[in-house]
Amino acid sequence: MSDKKPSSQTPVLEIEHLTMQFGGVIAVNDFSMHIDQGEIVALIGPNGAGKTTAFNCVTGVYEPTNGQVLFHGKAIARNHPTGKMKKLYAGLHADKYLADPVRLTPDRITQMGIARTFQNIRLFSGMTVFDNVMLAMHLRRKSNVFSQTLRLNAAEEKQMREKAEKLLKTVDLWEVRDEMATSLPYGRQRLLEISRALATEPTLLLLDEPAAGMNPQETEELSRFIKRIKGQFGLTVFVIEHHMQLVMGISDRIYCIDFGKLIAEGTPVQIQNNPAVIEAYLGGGEDE
């Protein structure tokens, strides 16, 4: 299992046979997908289908039970069932990824260029809007703690402030930069969370239900916003969403999972007419 050489055809993100098992429950079951450069790909599925779990495996919050995740051809997570899981494991391909497991912490993965937002907003409540964005730039600094304390990094600091200013002006949050982050209205908090993720200078942006709790008009604005920043920052976007309006409007391709298993993939039109998807959403008595 050596890392693949990056080439122009290498997908930005490649998930191979990802399985995540908690005790006896398989949250994500043998899930494979890929995202190419510049795409907006959505992951949909009923509540509890394992979407966020899959996300957490990509961002390093969880260590997958089996399978691997490649980012620009480089492994960021790779594991096979070990310890207690060896006996308990109920998924497939148990002996496919035996070679050296890869376990990166979330901060390392962010450093490599994957940024994310959270399903329930997680802004830094004790910090201003400006500081929230500045914090996200912390990982790209070259100065150490001594030069920062003694203010020997003035040039770098100034450059970062200018960058933060530019970013906040692009997303229309410059006027409220000195407000406490959590005092913003809900929609703008969402916006700030995305901006904060952008400040880490990612190539791949993961959005976990960005439209949750938004009304149709706000959702419409968000769709436009996502398309705009995608072009502006040269991003590839991977989004989990319930709002079909948003998903159908922005995605190039859609993956649909139910009970942890991939049940359909394709363009929005294909997904809309896929009987398995309709079954999952309507037949199971789930929401939507």
Partner 1 sequence: MTNPKIKKKDRALTVSWIVVAAVYAAVFAAEQVISPNSMLFTVLKKGATYALVAVSMNLLNGFTGIFSLGQAGFMLLGAYTYAIFTIPLEHRSSVYQYFNGGVVQFTLPWFLAMILAGLVAAFFAWLIGLPVLRLKSDYLAIATLGFAEIIRAILQWNQLGPVTNGSNMLRLFPNFNSFNILKADGSVAVYLSTTVPFLIAGVCIGLIVLLLHSGYGRAFKSIRDDEVAAEAMGVNLAHHKQLAFCISSFFAGVGGAMLAMYQTTVQAKSFTTAMTYEILLMVVIGGVGSVTGSVISSFLFVACSEWWLRFLDNEQFIGDFQVPLLRNGFRLVVFSIIIMVVVLFFRRGIMGTRELPDVIRALPGAVRSLPEKMRARRERRSASRKEAGR
Binding site for partner 1 (CB under 8 A): 59, 61, 105-108, 110-111, 115-116, 118, 122-127, 131, 134-139, 141, 143, 145, 148-151, 157, 160, 178, 196-197, 200
- Smallest separation, CB 161 to partner 1 (Å): 11
Nearer to partner 1, 43 or 254 (CB): 43
- Smallest separation, CB 136 to partner 1 (Å): 5
- Smallest separation, CB 110 to partner 1 (Å): 4
- Do you know the residue count of the chain? 288
- Smallest separation, CB 81 to partner 1 (Å): 25
Facing residues of 20 across strands?
28
Nearer to partner 1, 108 or 166 (CB): 108
Distance, CA of 106 to CA of 77 (rounded, Å): 11
Distance, CA of 50 to CA of 20 (rounded, Å): 9
DSSP calls for 59-124: TTSS--SEEEEEETTEEEEEE---TTHHHH--SS-TTS--S--EE--HHHHHHHTEEE--SS----
Whether the CA torsion 118, 202, 196, 215 is positive or negative: it is: negative
Nearer to partner 1, 89 or 124 (CB): 124
* Helix 186-199, helix 216-233: angle, nearest 10: 10
Nearer to partner 1, 72 or 116 (CB): 116
Nearer to partner 1, 138 or 224 (CB): 138
- Smallest separation, CB 2 to partner 1 (Å): 27
Nearer to partner 1, 86 or 141 (CB): 141
Nearer to partner 1, 84 or 150 (CB): 150
260 contact partners, CB below 8 Å, separation of at least 6: 20, 26, 27, 28, 29, 31, 49, 50, 53
Distance, CA of 96 to CA of 2 (rounded, Å): 13
Contact status, residue 247 vs residue 268, Cβ threshold 8 Å = yes
- Smallest separation, CB 56 to partner 1 (Å): 10
Q: Is 179 helix (H, G, I), strand (E, B) or coil?
A: coil
Nearer to partner 1, 124 or 233 (CB): 124
- Smallest separation, CB 185 to partner 1 (Å): 19
Contact status, residue 176 vs residue 184, Cβ threshold 8 Å = yes
- Smallest separation, CB 226 to partner 1 (Å): 19
